[in-house]
Structure 1
């Protein structure tokens, strides 16, 4: 259905997705119980996972300004 709907408008993108379909969907080969534990190699996703993990466990971020400061420092550190 995806190929049928988007082939005419985005032929190169559809060709790339068709070519790499198996690699893109490898995640779903694992049992659903394991999905939340599988780590991503996506740099952007990994950075935000660090921020999400740390900020949800921090009790000192009572104001928006302190949360933004903490988030900025966490992103800066994760970037390294």
Structure 2
């Protein structure tokens, strides 16, 4: 599983990364996490409001920081 956190590095982007890592730990799932901070790269996903959560090139959430349990549900195998 390859996860991308879309955002310029703001507080919400950091919170999304933190909650995503916690959800992965909770699930016992291995994944690589990449930060995408360049606006043209973020916009290429159709995301105009950050942060964004992309899993295996599918945009799952953007414009808000979902709760850890919601992230865990999205990442469940």
TM range (shorter): under 0.3
* Greater helix content: 1
- The structure with higher relative contact order (CA 8 Å, sep 6+) is 2
* Greater strand content: 2
> If the length of structure 1 is used for normalisation, what is the TM-score?
0.26
> If the length of structure 2 is used for normalisation, what is the TM-score?
0.27
Structure ID, larger Rg: 1
